[in-house]
Structure 1
Amino acid sequence: MKVGVDILDVVALTEDLPGRGLYRGQVGTVVEALEPNVFEVEFSDDEGRAYAFVSLRADQLLVLHYEPIEAGS
Structure 2
Amino acid sequence: MNIKLFDTVILKADIPNKGLCVGDMGAVVELYEPDGLEIEFVTGSGKTQALVTLNIADVRLITHTDILAVRSLNAA
TM-score range for the pair, normalised by the shorter chain length: 0.7 to 0.9
Residue 47 of structure 1, aligned match among 45, 48, 56: 45
Quick one: percent identity of the two aligned structures? 32
Letter in 1 for 2:9: V
Residue 59 of structure 1, aligned match among 43, 57, 60: 57
Q: TM-score, normalised by structure 2?
A: 0.76
Structure 2 partner of 1:22: 20
- Greater Cα shift, 58-67 or 32-41: 58-67
1:27-38 paired onto structure 2 within 5 Å? 27-38=25-36
**RMSD value, Cα:** 1.6
The structure 1 segments of at least 4 consecutive aligned residues displaced by more than 4 Å after TM superposition are: none
SS at 2:17's partner residue?
helix
1:33-73 CA-partner distances (Å, limit 9, x unpaired): 02221000000111111111000100000101349xxxxxx
Letter in 2 for 1:62: R
- Cα distance in structure 2, aligned partners of 1:15 and 1:34: 20
Tell me, which stretches of 5 or more residues in structure 2 are unaligned? 66-76
Across the two proteins, how many residue pairs are aligned to each other?
A: 65
- Cα distance in structure 2, aligned partners of 1:51 and 1:19: 11
Check the 8 A contact 2:14/2:22 in 1, yes or no: yes
Q: TM-score, normalised by structure 1?
A: 0.79
- Cα distance in structure 2, aligned partners of 1:49 and 1:21: 13
Q: Max radius of gyration: which structure?
A: 1
